Structure 1
Amino acid sequence: MGFLILTILLLAFALLAVIDGFYLHIFKYQLFNHKESKFEHLTHTIRAILFPLIVYFLFITQNCPTSFYLGVLFVVTDIVVLGTDAYLEKDSRIFMGGLPRWEYILHLFVNGFHFASIAVFFAIKLTFTENGIEVIQTLSHLKNFGLFQFIALNLLPGAIILALLHIYTSINITKEYWNNLRSKITCC
């Protein structure tokens, strides 16, 4: 049951992250083009890079303690970057009159699903014994693990593309190319 819940949370996060991270931040508001939101775009870029690393090292790679601990390190880094982003977000959206309330709510759901999926994974992966906390190395015997692995593996390419797009819009030369492409789209 845990992997089914984890799969649903991960899919909900991925869907909302595309709406928030791509459509709103890159496509609609073009945060990378505004002086006030350059640092916010940097924090989003770092988080966009961290997500596929978390998926790979925490969720996909099994039977390797080093991968698990790397995944945990990426999660902790993600939390620090998220805190920094949230603290500075109010100032970075001055150009648009502040962060819209509905986008703030979207951020709550996106991050809620993201960290809930990680918490559920930890609940499955860790067990408490009389000797302390034990990391369960192999989870493949558990129900719905195959579905979860399939979804996680298939989210990776899109997550990597979104991370590369964040990097792409951070570099002046490629940002201008994106701006030229974006200017040709008159809807949305």
Structure 2
Amino acid sequence: MDILYILTSIFLVLFMVLATYDGFYLHLWKYKLYQHNESNFEHKTHTVRAILFPIIVWCLLIENSLEFFIIGMVLTFVDLIVLGFDAYSEKDSRDFMGGLPRWEYIIHLFANGFHYAIIALTIGIKLSIEGNSIYYITAPISTSLASNILTIVAENAIPGAVILAFLHVFLLFQNTQNIWDSYRNRINCC
């Protein structure tokens, strides 16, 4: 069972690195997707996904109850639908920059692969199949080093994810975009 915890921890770290690079640096800093009419819808889908992510992490990786598991799985399903709309809109939303760069498309594939691998592994950790029945494991599954590491990684993912979600919401509005841009333009790198 420890291998599931270890893989989930690794994939969560990899997802956070790629999501931060893509969601913060590329989308908000470099390309300023929130400023372009073509990419306005894409920014909104990223905002929804940025809000959902820390809640899903909390429900699936930190809380240990059937109710939170169900909420986390429902939100995961909502996230999957939003991802579909996001992916469908990206071709048109990147017209202002000549289309989505191939390397960024690859980043999206890996980031979303890690994201949904985390979900699949979590299902493997939290559900048990016995005969023809599926059971939610209500007792703490493990107190091993591997499970403790996953809890620490998940708890530490929440603050950064909340900040990134807040920033996405902040940039939905013209007045706050102007504030962001005035500070962003003072930095002459990247």
The farther-off stretch of 98-107 and 142-151 is 142-151
Give SS of 2:92's match.
helix
| Consecutive aligned runs of 4 or more in structure 1 exceeding 6 Å deviation | none
Q: In structure 2, what is the Cα distance between the partners aligned to 1:68 and 1:94?
A: 39
Deviations 1:38-69 (A, max 9, x none): 0000000000000000001111001x211110
Q: Could you tell me which residue of structure 1 aligns to residue 116 of structure 2?
A: 115
Structure 1: which 5+ residue stretches go unaligned?
Answer: none
Q: Could you tell me which residue of structure 2 aligns to residue 150 of structure 1?
A: 152
Give SS of 2:135's match.
strand
Q: Could you tell me which residue of structure 2 aligns to residue 83 of structure 1?
A: 84
Q: Could you tell me which residue of structure 2 aligns to residue 125 of structure 1?
A: 126
Structure 2: which 5+ residue stretches go unaligned?
Answer: none
Q: Could you tell me which residue of structure 2 aligns to residue 21 of structure 1?
A: 23
Q: Could you tell me which residue of structure 2 aligns to residue 98 of structure 1?
A: 99
Q: In structure 2, what is the Cα distance between the partners aligned to 1:90 and 1:131?
A: 44
Q: In structure 2, what is the Cα distance between the partners aligned to 1:97 and 1:34?
A: 13
Q: Report the count of equivalent residues.
A: 187
Q: In structure 2, what is the Cα distance between the partners aligned to 1:178 and 1:47?
A: 21
8 Å CA contact 1:48–1:166 kept in 2: the answer is yes
Identical pairs, percent: 48
Give SS of 2:188's match.
coil
**TM-score, normalised relative to structure 1:** 0.97
Give 1:175's match in structure 2, choosing from 155, 174, 177: 177
What letter matches 2:96 in structure 1? F
Give SS of 2:134's match.
strand
Q: In structure 1, what is the Cα distance between the partners aligned to 2:77 and 2:140?
A: 23
Q: Could you tell me which residue of structure 2 aligns to residue 73 of structure 1?
A: 74
Q: In structure 2, what is the Cα distance between the partners aligned to 1:5 and 1:138?
A: 21
Deviations 1:68-100 (A, max 9, x none): 100001100000000110011000000000000
Give SS of 1:141's match.
coil
Cα root mean square deviation, aligned: 1.0
Deviation at 1:133, TM superposition (A): 1.1
